[in-house]
Structures are given as C-alpha cells and as structure tokens.
Structure 1
Amino acid sequence: MRPSVLLFLSLSLTGASASLFGSNKPQYNEWSTPELKKWLNDHNINVPETYSQDQLKDLVQSNWNAASAWTYDQYASAQKSFADLREASFDAWDESRLREFLLEQGVVEPKGPREQLVLLAKSKYASYTSAASSFSAQASTAVYGDTAHQMTKSASSVAAQATREAARQLDDAKDYVYSTWEDNRLRNYLVEKGVLAKDAAEKKRSELLALMRDAYAKTTTPIWEAWSDSYMREWLIAHDIVAPGAPPPKTDVLKAKMSQYYYDVNDRVWGTWTDSDLKAWLVANNVIKSDAQVKRDKLVKLIEDNYVNAQDTVWEAWSDSQMRDWLVEHGEKTVPAQREKLVKLMQAKYDDVATTSATYLTWPDARLRAYLRNHGLDESALPTSRPGLLQETRIRWIQTQTTFERIRDIVNSGVEATEEKLASILNMLTGEAKSGADSAKKGAESAKKQAKENVKKASEEL
C-alpha cells in the first residue's frame, strides 16, 4: 500500500475519532449563552433572537447526535422516515405531527413552541441530506488507484439513492389528477363524499384541495392513481425508469410503468397480502399453529420478525445452477439434481449462508425491478417471477459490496486503537485478512439463534 493511503486513513480516523469513537463530549449543560449560540451557528442551525438560554440548551441537546458523523447504516435506516419529504414540508405540519416525527428520529422529549419544533425537524432533514455528500467527500480524498475509484463509485451511488428516495413532496395545486378541477367540481365531489356539508361556508381553493387530499388521494389504491401525468413522469425520471430528455409518455404508458416499478421505501413484499396469506405463510414456516386465532397486526409483526430467517426466503434468491456451482466451489463432490435435495444440502453443509439475510429479500417485486434497472439490466431482460428477480438482485447485491463499504464497517467498528483499525484496513486492501469466514459463521449462528427465539416467543404469546 502507498504511504499516502496510510496517511489518508490515519488522518481520517484521527479526525473522526471525536465523533465516531470517543466519549469526549462537551458539557453543554455548563455552556454560556454565547457558547451555545456559537455551537448552533457552527452547525448551520438557525437561532431565533428571542431564545432564552434554556431554549438554546434544548436546541443544542436535540441536535447533538445529528451533528456527529453518520454511518451508512444510519443513513439507510433514515430513508424510511425522510422519503418523499423536503425542507418546506415541516412548515405545514402541526405540533402533533412534528413531535411524532421527532420522536421517530430519537428526540426523547420534543419540547418548545412550534417554531422550535420546525427548526429541529429541518435540522434533522439537513443532516440526512448531507450524509450522502459527506460520504462522497470522504471517498474523493482517497488516493489509491482502483480503491479510490471504487470508494468514489460507492459514494456516488449513495448520493444517487438519496436523490431518488428524498423525492419532492406532492403539491396540491399541480401534482394530483384533481389539481386542474374547477372549484365547483371540487366542492361537489367533497359534498358527495360527505366531507363537506352542502350549507358549509365558502372555502378557499387551497382549503378545498387540502380536503381533497384526504378524500381522494388517501383512499386511492395504488396511491399513484391520484397523481397527475407530470408527477408520475417526474417520479419515473427520478428512479431512472424514464429518460429526462425523452418525449412525455402517454397516460396509459405512464400508468403501466408505475404499475411495474412504483414502490415506497416502507413497502414490504407482504404489504398486499390478505390475512389468510399472512397466516398461511406463518403456518407453513412453523411460526404458529393452523388453529391459532391471530389479529392482522400480530400476524404482520410475526412476519416481520421471521421472514428473512425462513429457509424459503433465503433460498428463493438462489437458482438451482447457482447452488450447484456454489457447492462445487466449496468442495462438494456429489451434487444432487433435484432442488429440494440441493436446498437440504446447502442448509446442512453451509448453514452460515442459509441464515445470512439481506434487506432486498423483503422488497416488493416493483422495487426489485427498479433496482435491477438501475444496475444495468435491460427492461426486456427482467425476470417475470419473484424468484427470478431475487436471483438477479442477489448477484448484483454481492457485486456492489465495495471496498468503501467494508472500510466504513471497520471505521465504525468498536475497535478503539487507530493502529488496529489501520491494520484491519491494510489487511483487507492487500487481501491478507483471514478471519472473514469465521466472522460470517459467527454472525450466521447468531441469526439462526435469534430466529429460533422469535418462533419460541411467538408461540408463547399466542
């Protein structure tokens, strides 16, 4: 490895030590008003002139964790909350919604007037949107040939994902199918649906549109059926399905594309399952008994706890030929032809693989298609079955486990000694690390143990 790379890694780790590894946090409880204001200004957090010292202290405390460096895992987890938001969204939220959002972001007790809650929500959003660019900036300073290229490529994909997931919030005045309706038509629709009384006082157009969002858009399935053609096209462009410079597709083409590719980051494959579907899966995977009486909320929770650890889930992402090749590569001389026997052999001899889970296993088909398109698979080559989609996704998922991501895992690990971290990175880059298989096996054993505990717990609660 070049000395310059070691220097870069050393400086990066040293510079990040305070935020990532150390416990040397300033005692802001003892700070003066100027010190509190300075910290807030240094971290680009707007400070109202009327704030008292206690309010300033609350604002610092609320932003303390957000101001430190994000790991990629933190960024990935935050996508669920920040998808389809923009900074201006928080200005329209009431105090209840703001407090709920902040609680989700780890603010234990959101305090203060609405103005302060909006500021805090915006700072959380700013921290999220800056995470991807931070990864990119760190990666671009690397100077190790192919390694630098891989790190930059990985960071660029993070930034692209942030752009796609943090899509523009829908605008009542232009982004829905009813946005062009005349006021009388809006009013008549709302009266017909019982949202507005016939003798209700005249309402402004903005108020009528806000009511329509609840009466029309929120009851439309799928949700994009309520969108205007222009917003559907915008979503498809943001997700690399439609080229920005291409002529606007017709409505039926847009809807066909949305039907094939639309997903929300919170969607899971079981999201559209009926109660019977959920129960059938749980019975088939020995989580509950066939005569169990379980409400839908409980069924969903049991699916969430057990889905990725189920054998059917894991092996669905492997084709027969992929399993045969893997077995041969790992020393198996006699490989069966039948899939059932292949799965049984894989499970028995290489249990660490069977219990390795990946987030894509829970994605709905639409998200798998979008992922494959974004990773170079032509639309005409997309598999038509879920197993096929999973198998193609698994191949690309493994290929994108880049050097940058592995370095990130080492940097964010619990190892305190900088020299030890550098040694781990050096071993990884020079191909000298020998403990990967052991670590994977330990992780697999832990996942398997957790799965068994989930099944036991579920049985006890029923």
Structure 2
Amino acid sequence: MRWLSTVLSLGLAADAVVGSSWFSKAAYNKWHETELERWLSDNDIPYPTPADRKDLENLIQKNWDSYAVSPYKNWDTDKLTAYLKTKGIETKDSAKSNKDSLVSQVTSAWYETEDKAQTGWTSVQEWILDTWTDSALKSFADKNGIPVPQPRTRDTLLQKVRSNYETVAKKAGETASYPGDWLYGSWSESDLKEWLDTHGVPAPQITDRNRLISMVRRNSRLAYLRMQEQKESASASANSAYATLTDKLIDAWSESQLKEFCDKNAINVPQGSKANELRALVRKHRAAILGDNVSASASSVFGAATSKAGNQYAKATNDASLAAQDAFNKAVGVWSDSRLKAYLDARGVPVHQGSKTDELRALVRRNAHKAAHPYSAWTWDDLSYENLRSYLASSGNAAAKKAGESSSATRDELVDAAQSAYASASSAGGISYASATSYLAQATEVAKKSTFNTWSESELKAYLDSYGVPVPQGSTLNELRAEARKQSTYFKYGTSNPASTAFAKIGENVVGAYQWVVGQLGAGSEAAKKKAGDVKEEL
C-alpha cells in the first residue's frame, strides 16, 4: 500500500509540474502590470480598477488561448471559412453551420503550434518589426539616434532596430515585453491607418491615435504570421523557377536572352558585360536562390517588394499598396467638388475658401489614409429609407419628425433632414447627441452587409451623381449597386477595402506584393522550359 501511495503521490506531483510548467512559460507571467492592463485593453477585455497583479494574470489566463495562441476561436463562421479558403480547404455547407467543426479544421491548418505561439510572445521584438516598411524602420532609427551604416538595406535596418529595441524602451522609461505607444512614436496617424489598410485589418472610423496604435499592436502577430507564409510561398516558387535552369540551358542562351532574364529577375548587370560574364551572373544568382539560403533570399526579395525604398520592386504597379493608392486616386479623379469637400470635412481637414478642384483632389490624396471621425453628418449619406425615417421619428426634433412623416419626401430630403437633426444634436450635446450616435452605431452595423440592396435605380444614380461618377448607358441594377458600394468604401475608408475578415485582399484587381515577386522570380521559367524543349529537339 505504501508503494501504491508513493506512486500516486509521484503521479500527482508530475501532473502538477506539467500544469505549472505550462503556466510558468506563459509570456505574460513576466510582464509589468501596465503591460497586463495594456493587453487586456487592446483586446477589449474589461478589468477592474484598481486591480492587483494576481487578478490581472488570472483574467489574462482565462483569455490567453482565445486571443494570443488561437485567436480564431473568437471568429464567426464566415471568418473561419474565409481562412480555410486561403489554405485551399473547401468546406461543405453543413460544416459552415457547425462552428466547432470549422474551428477544428482551422486548428489543423493554423500558422503555428501552441508552443511556437507561446515562444513568440516571449520575444516580441524578434517579429513585431518585420511588418514595418523600410521607411518606418528608418524613421524609428533616426528618431532614436540609432546609427545605421550605408547602404541601408532592410536586413541591416531590422538588425539595428532590433538590437536597440530594449535600449530605446529603457531610455523612454517604458516596458518592452508588450510594447506601449513609445514603439510607434515616429508614426503618424496616417502611417497607422496605412498599416491597417495594407494588412487587411478593418479600421472603422476612428480618430483616436491610441486606439489606432492598439489595433496595430493587437494585429501585428497575425500580420507577421501571414507575411511569413507569403515569404515561404515566394521561396518555393523561386526554387521551382530556378530549378529549370540547367547549365546546358544557360549555355544555349544568346546574349540577348541572358540580358532579358537578368532584367526580368532583377539581376544587376555591370555595364559592358560579355555573354560568358552574363552566364556566370545567372549561375551565381541561381546558386543563391537554390542554395542553403533559399528562404533568406526569397525573403529579402519580398522585403524589397514591400519596402517602397525606391528600388525596382517598389516601382511595380502591381505592388498591393501602390495599386490600392492608384485605384483610390483614379476614383477621386472624377469626384465632384462637394464630395471632395465632404471627404475632407469628415476627417476634420480644413479647406481654404475658393479652393479649386485640383487643389481639393490633391488634399484628398494626401489624406488617403487619414481616419474619419467616428460619426458625422455624412454617416447618414448611405443609410436606407427605413433607417432614415426611423431616426427622424425618434430624434426628438420636430422639423426632422415632420420630414420623416412626409410620404412624398425623397431620399435626398430625408438625408438632409437627418444631417440637420444630427448637427443640432451634436451642438446641443448631452442625451440628444448620445442618442444620435447610438442610433448611428446600430444602423451602420446592421447595414454593413445590405447597404444599397433596397435602393431603387433612380436613387443609386442620384447617389453616384453626387460623386460625379458617370453611369454608363444600360447599366444593370447590380452594377449600379457595386459602383455605389465602391465609391462609398473609398469615401469612408480612403484606400482601404474593409472586409469581415483580416484575410481579405485589397480589391480593385490588386495583386499582392508577394504574388508580384513570385511572378518576377518565375519570369524566366516559361522561357527556360521552352528553350529546354528546343535544346532537346536539337540533340
């Protein structure tokens, strides 16, 4: 019996050790109390104030898995299904309605294991900077007096900023494990909004800088994991493309073919290089791609594509951010003066009296990433008849109520009445304003998926006319709705294309930067295969 008792005791002790070892390796155990509170705040988890450290840790422990390790457990079925699609996993209709089944599938296909996630959160500085652009890294280095040798390559920038990460935090009297706003001290609000836009994170009309930083910080891990997957995809494609280049094939290429391949694959060719020198360059580049540093090579190319540092990759028209900006600029290029002014007004950007159209467009483009005010008179612009009448009836404004009750009132008249009532409530403040913003919050949330669905053809045309957007003869109702949604999206969010999931790609036929890189690395692949066939026929 004593033997059995001893075994049971040892077993219980072992279980206790296992349990405590998992808890002890949780990153937040070593965080400062301000970091514990920051993490809870970032994830919208309420916590008591004041609260002691033990209370904060217990609260994080309850939510850690669902927010830090396996964030998809908080997703709805649409987000889960969308993620599985990005992994090439199709789901049946029956599975879509079963969230547990979807969560199980996502778990199997997730970016990282639980252990890797735990490790990641213990060394934030090792990955949080990877999603920054070169310009953001340079600004951080300059602001904090970090010397970076020339030429300032992305790898050098990352290494220098990482090595000075904790030093900068200590100098500012801040903590570094779960970084505060100090990390984004060199970022403008537009920079923060641009990061969210670039990584497909919906940034609803928010102007509070601290909140924007919170959204960037909260989504940085997911953005990093997604980017790593894209780099691996680029590596695999690079490997495949260069694997077709046999020595015999390189020898068979003419000087012009060698130059074309070098040009398409960003191989720097010294002036006056001869054919044999070109062949040596191609072989050297092939070895670098197919050698032990495949991932590093492809990653550096990917970094170049997204850095906007002025190199050939950043100039590509298919770079996601540049293409999104270009699409926004084209949309703004036809907007009317009133719509341009409204866009700026919704963002609190002052407009000089008598500004010309070109000046207004330039000002709008400069503020493409500036977040709009939470709610403004323009928020009523694309609400339905039902929403507008409902608000006017409940606004407590006699004139507004009368306009809402008029059976002959046009949609534009209802919008004008709602905007006027809202402006009065905004000036008065108090309960009237709180009621108006509360109504807007509910109405816009409900309208997200159904905006413009109930509008008539004449209403849609009038709405597009307010933007100055011409409607082609014979346009169908669905085409009008799609165009209205596009213009509304640009007006509300600038260059971003908000979506219900963090994995949505920016619209307007934009190709992701990594896809462009893959195309460039593989540019010679088809030519290589064709030439290989020609050589084979000659032998």
TM value normalised by structure 1: 0.35
Question: Which is bigger in relative contact order (C-alpha 8 A, separation at least 6)?
Answer: 2
TM value normalised by structure 2: 0.31
- Structure with greater Cα Rg: 2
